[in-house]
């Protein structure tokens, strides 16, 4: 280099630096074009080599896409940009990999479930219909699921909410640590274990029969740690300045929590609750152990066996006839739709209740 440290010439005199800040860029449509080409070549290779599995075609295409992007970008734009594009394409491929199973699952369920899904199916129970015959419905299962999940939420939501408030706002020292630890342990309880626990206490020791309520208790055990965790995170997001502002106005702590902390975080808390409900809606094992399943409508969740949607799917599948397969798929579709609606409602509430910016 011509400019050494000792000479200290002004910058304008020094060795020519790249004058322009502009660099050659691939056109905007390049990634899409590379993707199309890669998929086409992938399919071609698959056809020529006679590969059976479409998954292999896709993987070859994905690999070609990554390689092609990197090589092209390195040639035109330079190595740093090529690395950037490499990372971008990896993220895109992971996204596609994650979406493909989800989309195909929903597609499969919709196509197979729509066959027998109609007003009659939604508004009738199985009654005395033999399993091999077409007809029947899931009204009794919908009633059961709504009651069991509703009761579980009624038990778990207040306990979980208050626990989270204790942990964030009051909990200090050993008790708080112990509670946190047990919540963590509860998060990992397999649903069948929760079912067995209620089975041994409620049915075997206390001698009650199967009921929707027994199932709801097991579901509540599964739901509680989820509610505690999500609520805790939401309460921690409330800035401490707001608590201090309220306390400094001479507002007692409990009122501060009730009027400032909870309203600020209510959107997130509701979302967490809804997601916890969605999680337990699909539980089968505890329901199988504690609610048993039924073919007829039982509107009383406190007495007698009930049906629920996941259990209905399971039992119809077990029957093995074409008609019961159709019913299982339709019930699965209803279940997915139910969970999806819950999620949408949660998002709506979160958006509606989010602190307004007023701009």
Partner 1 sequence: MAKRIDVSGLSAYYGSHKAIDDISMTVEPRSVTAFIGPSGCGKSTFLRTLNRMHEVTPGGRVEGKVLLDDENLYGSGVDPVAVRRTVGMVFQRPNPFPTMSIFDNVAAGLRLNGSYKKSELNDVVEKSLKGANLWNEVKDRLNKPGSGLSGGQQQRLCIARAIAVEPQVLLMDEPCSALDPISTLAIEDLIGELKERFTIVIVTHNMQQAARVSDRTAFFNLAAVGQPGKLVEIDDTERIFSNPSVQATEDYISGRFG
- CB nearer partner 1, residue 89 or residue 264: 264
Q: For partner 1, what does the binding mask look like between residues 151 and 190, x meaning CB under 8 A?
A: ---------------------x------------------
- Establish if 237 lies at the interface with partner 1 (CB under 8 A): no
Q: Is 359 in the site for partner 1 (CB under 8 A)?
A: yes
Our finding on whether 246 is near partner 1 (CB under 8 A) is: yes
Asked if residues 307 and 141 have their Cβ atoms less than 8 Å apart, the reply is yes
In whole angstroms, the minimum distance from the beta carbon of 171 to partner 1 comes to 11
Q: How far apart are CA 169 and CA 164, in angstroms?
A: 8
Contact call for residues 163 and 353 (beta carbons, < 8 A): no
Complete DSSP assignment for 278-328: HHHHT--HHHHHHTB--SS----TTSS-B--HHHHHHHHHHH--HHHHHHH
> How far is the C-alpha of 322 from the C-alpha of 302, rounded, in Å?
34
Q: Would you state the structure tokens that stand for residue 351, as one six-digit string?
A: 């958006």
CA atoms within 13 A on the CB side of 25: 8
What residues numbered 58-117 form the site for partner 1, per CB under 8 A? Answer: none
| Cβ atoms within 10 Å of 196's Cβ, excluding its own | 17
Contact 65, 93 (CB under 8 A): yes
Instruction: Give 85 or 243: the residue with its C-beta nearer to partner 1.
Output: 243
* Among positions 80, 177, 255, 351, the unique one binding partner 1 when judged by CB under 8 A: 255
Which residue, 44 or 263, is less far from partner 1 as judged by CB? 263
Does position 242 bind partner 1 by CB under 8 A? yes
Min dist CB 225 to partner 1, Å, is 25
- Going from the C-alpha of 243 to that of each of 171, 230, 249, the distances in angstroms are 16, 20, 10
CB nearer to partner 1: give 243 or 327: 243
Q: Which of 230, 256, 298, 315 binds partner 1 (CB under 8 A)?
A: 256
C-beta of 269: minimal distance to partner 1 in Å?
Answer: 13
Q: Site for partner 1 (CB under 8 A): which residue of 2, 4, 20, 357?
A: 357
Q: Specify the residue, 227 or 260, whose C-beta has the smaller distance to partner 1.
A: 260
236 is a site residue for partner 1 (CB under 8 A): no
- Identify which of 145, 122, 159, 109 has the alpha carbon closest to the alpha carbon of residue 277: 145
Buried b (16+ CB within 10 A) or exposed e, 153-177: bebbbeebbebbbebbeebeeeeee
Among 251, 275, 337, 345, binds partner 1 (CB under 8 A): 251
φ/ψ of 357, rounded to 5, equals -90, -25
Residues in contact with partner 1, shown as a per-residue x/- string from 257 to 296 under the rule CB under 8 A: --xx--xx--------------------------------
Overall size of the chain counted in residues: 359
Q: At what angle do helices 79-113 and 54-76 cross, to 10 degrees?
A: 160
Residue 248 is a binding residue for partner 1 (CB under 8 A): yes
* # residues contacting partner 1 (CB under 8 A): 25
In this chain, which stretch among 108-116, 188-196, 243-251, 326-334 interacts with partner 1, using CB under 8 A? 243-251
Q: Is 349 in the site for partner 1 (CB under 8 A)?
A: no
Which spans of this chain sit near partner 1 (rule: CB under 8 A)? 172, 239, 241-252, 255-256, 259-260, 263-264, 355-359
């Amino acid at each position: 280099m011509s400019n050494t440290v000792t000479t200290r010439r002004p910058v304008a005199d020094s060795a020519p630096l790249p004058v322009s800040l502009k660099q050659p860029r691939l056109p905007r449509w390049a990634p899409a074009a590379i993707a199309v080409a890669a998929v086409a070549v992938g399919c071609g290779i698959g056809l020529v080599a006679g590969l059976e599995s479409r998954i292999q075609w896709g993987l070859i295409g994905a690999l070609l896409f990554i390689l092609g992007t990197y090589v092209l970008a390195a040639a035109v734009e330079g190595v740093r940009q090529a690395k950037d594009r490499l990372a971008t394409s990896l993220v895109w491929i992971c996204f596609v990999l994650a979406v493909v199973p989800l989309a195909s699952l929903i597609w499969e369920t919709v196509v197979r479930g729509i066959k027998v899904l109609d007003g009659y199916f939604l508004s009738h129970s199985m009654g005395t219909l033999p399993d091999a015959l077409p007809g029947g419905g899931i009204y009794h299962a919908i009633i059961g699921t709504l009651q069991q999940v509703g009761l579980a939420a009624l038990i778990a939501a207040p306990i979980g909410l208050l626990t989270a408030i204790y942990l964030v706002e009051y909990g200090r020292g050993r008790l708080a640590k112990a509670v946190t630890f047990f919540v963590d342990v509860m998060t990992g309880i397999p649903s069948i274990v929760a079912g067995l626990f209620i089975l041994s206490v409620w049915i075997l020791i206390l001698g009650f029969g199967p009921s929707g309520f027994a199932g709801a208790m097991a579901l509540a055990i599964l739901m509680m740690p989820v509610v505690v965790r999500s609520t805790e995170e939401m309460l921690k997001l409330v800035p401490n300045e707001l608590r201090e502002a309220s306390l400094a106005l001479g507002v007692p702590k409990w009122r501060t929590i009730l009027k400032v902390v909870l309203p600020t975080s209510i959107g997130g808390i509701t979302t967490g609750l809804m997601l916890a409900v969605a999680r337990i809606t699909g539980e089968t094992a505890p329901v199988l152990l504690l609610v048993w399943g039924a073919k007829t409508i039982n509107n009383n969740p406190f007495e007698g066996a009930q049906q629920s949607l996941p259990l209905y799917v399971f039992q119809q599948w077990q029957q093995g006839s074409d008609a019961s397969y159709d019913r299982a798929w339709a019930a699965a579709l209803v279940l997915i739709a139910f969970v999806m609606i819950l999620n949408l409602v949660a998002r709506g509430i979160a958006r509606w209740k989010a602190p307004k910016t007023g701009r």
